[in-house]
């Protein structure tokens, strides 16, 4: 979910929480893919027919592809959430994550926010 839409719908803290949960969901998928690779390699070592070996090899490749995709998503979502969270403190008073959305660029990459504590405005880049 884009930052501006997430702040608008749920607020920053919920958006951040959801990004971290989604990120760690991909990490769990990566763990399952790793187990799938190990299981299919184990099955391939004891396969007797060519069809079984091909099936095990395809399963290994499928798990490896899904695992690489989930690793990439995990790292992207985690680093994106952390990069935004590092900009969530008010530069004037230091209050963390207590701001309201004022404006968002059309592509959603730049969000202008205002502190609820001191009314200072600053940009958050995502
Ligand atoms: Zn402030």
| Cα of 119 from ligand 1 centre, angstroms | 6
Closest CA to 92 of 126, 115, 123: 115
pLDDT band of residue 108 (cuts 50, 70, 90) is confident
What pLDDT digit, counting tens, does each position of 38-94 carry? Answer: 999 999 999 899 999 999 999 999 999 999 999 999 999 999 999 999 999 999 999
With a threshold of 0.75, does the pTM exceed it?
yes
Q: How far does the centroid of ligand 1 lie from the alpha carbon of residue 84, in Å? A: 17
Beta strand pairing call for 121-125 and 110-115:
antiparallel
Cα of 121 to ligand 1 centre, how many Å? Answer: 8
Does residue 1 have a pLDDT over 90? no
Q: Three-state SS for 83?
A: helix
Q: How far apart are CA 10 and CA 68, in angstroms?
A: 30
Residue 126's alpha-carbon distances to 79, 92, 110, in angstroms, are 10, 20, 6
């Amino acid at each position: 979910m884009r930052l501006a839409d997430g702040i608008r719908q749920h607020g920053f803290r919920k958006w951040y929480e959801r990004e971290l949960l989604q990120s760690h969901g991909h990490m769990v998928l990566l763990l399952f893919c790793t187990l799938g690779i190990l299981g299919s390699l184990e099955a391939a070592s004891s396969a007797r027919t060519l069809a079984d070996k091909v099936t095990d090899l395809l399963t290994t490749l499928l798990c490896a592809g899904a695992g690489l995709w989930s690793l990439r998503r995990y790292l992207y979502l985690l680093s994106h959430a952390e990069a935004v969270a590092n900009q969530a403190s008010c530069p004037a008073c230091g209050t963390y994550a207590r701001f309201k959305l004022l404006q968002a660029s059309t592509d959603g990459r730049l969000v202008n926010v205002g502190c609820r504590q001191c009314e200072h405005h600053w940009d958050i880049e995502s």
